[in-house]
Amino acid sequence: MISSLESPQPDDGAADERTLDDPERTDVVHPGPQTDPDPYMTDVLDADEARILAELELDGVTADMAGAPAALPRSRRSGRLFARSSSAPAQAAAADAHTAVFAPVVEPAQASTSAVSLLGGASATAERLAAAEHALAGGRQRAPLSELDARSISAWFGDHQVLLDVSLTMPAGQVTALIGPSGCGKSTFLRILNRMHELVPSASLAGEVLLDGDDIYDAGHRLIDARKHIGMVFQKPNPFPAMSIYDNVIAGLKLTGVRASRDEKDHLVETSLASAGLWKEVKDRLRAPGGGLSGGQQQRLCIARSLAIKPRVLLMDEPCSALDPTSTRVIEETMGELQKELTIVIVTHNMQQAQRVSQQCAFFLASQGQPGHIVEHGDTDAMFDSPIDPRTYDYVNGRFG
């Protein structure tokens, strides 16, 4: 509401019939045109939340890691080189380069309705949400599902080797389960798949990780691109506690430099929460703190946050280990739905879960101080019913681990 400043008027019994809009009035200050320096993002973060995002490194996305080193040896890349800071001009150029703007809104052929106006106002009309959906889709057909291929991966922490010559293809549109006892390198391998391994100062690795044939560790690729295409959900739910449910979902847009209009954000929040199986439970309290949800709901909120940036692959590191059976079932059902749109890789110690959700399994093992390696991998049913290696048979039948 625009406020007006009026001078005191003498009470002479006669009302002034001129309105505030009367150009002849001299007792009213008319403000000039208002401009919004950032019309897309001002409703996302307040000062405290912006500070949290700036300091937070849970997902490993930092501004000074947007670029990759110009030259790295193809064998054993150094973690110290990975963490090298860019110069200020290079940072500015990288920021400009990765700021993507959604496609222009095109009038849809047929408008769909929305379940609720997410912001409690009249702005999220059915027609505008339909237009936002069209804009987010870019008017294009859904891209084909992506395949992830790890080739000859070896990894070290300092001088300690934790993985030795691990090669595994994770087929498009399938759930691949990584199984094996603790300490065999499963989680390290998972973090290598989206370049989180390099965040450890002493870490290094050798080998390639190909996303649809393109090496994500190539010197010409930026770290933030790998994170946009390959999302990750951690063992312990990590929603931003000071943010609302709504802002938690769209936080990834800010971190990856993607701008969106209010309608596009509304549509993105609804579709991401629906894909994560959480929309019906929280649609009436989107402005409530994300930290106030139950453990299972927080985990699904983190899944929705990962889905909001439209990844091609989703990595999940023991996502149900701290959850009750009911929440576990809901998340497993969510995975079953998501694999229609994503390639999923999951680390789990629950053999029954691996059988329920995955189409492919890889059995990791590290014994007698040796680095972790894959003993056997293949079709999940075959791995559990008739494995080739006797160590696989012993593990899946609970004889060790």
| Predicted pLDDT at 115 | 36
Structure tokens at 231: 């999302």
- Residues 83, 142: Cα–Cα separation, whole Å: 35
| Predicted pLDDT at 254 | 78
- Residues 97, 109: Cα–Cα separation, whole Å: 33
The Cα-based distances of 139 to 33, 109, 132, 143 in angstroms read 35, 11, 11, 12
- Residues 194, 215: Cα–Cα separation, whole Å: 11
| Predicted pLDDT at 143 | 67
- Residues 395, 351: Cα–Cα separation, whole Å: 9
- Residues 248, 377: Cα–Cα separation, whole Å: 36
Closest listed residue to residue 353, CA positions, set 377, 335, 339, 379: 335
| Predicted pLDDT at 130 | 58
Structure tokens at 124: 């999220």
| Predicted pLDDT at 116 | 37
Structure tokens at 332: 């497993």
| Predicted pLDDT at 76 | 52
| Predicted pLDDT at 257 | 74
Residue type present at position 223: L
The Cα-based distances of 68 to 90, 197, 224, 262 in angstroms read 11, 14, 10, 33
Residues in the chain: 401
Location of structure tokens 């294009």: 140
| All domains in the chain, ordered by first residue | 47-102+142-396 (3.40.50.300)
| Tens digit of pLDDT at every position of the chain (401 positions) | 444 444 444 444 444 444 444 545 444 444 444 434 333 333 344 555 555 555 543 444 333 333 333 333 344 544 433 433 333 334 334 333 333 333 333 333 433 333 333 433 334 445 555 555 555 554 445 568 999 999 999 999 999 999 999 999 999 999 999 999 999 999 999 999 999 998 888 999 999 999 999 999 998 888 888 888 999 999 888 898 889 999 999 988 877 777 888 899 999 999 999 999 999 999 999 999 999 999 999 999 999 999 998 999 999 999 998 888 988 999 999 999 999 999 999 999 999 999 999 999 999 999 888 899 999 999 999 999 999 999 999 999 988 86
Closest listed residue to residue 384, CA positions, set 375, 395, 374, 373: 395
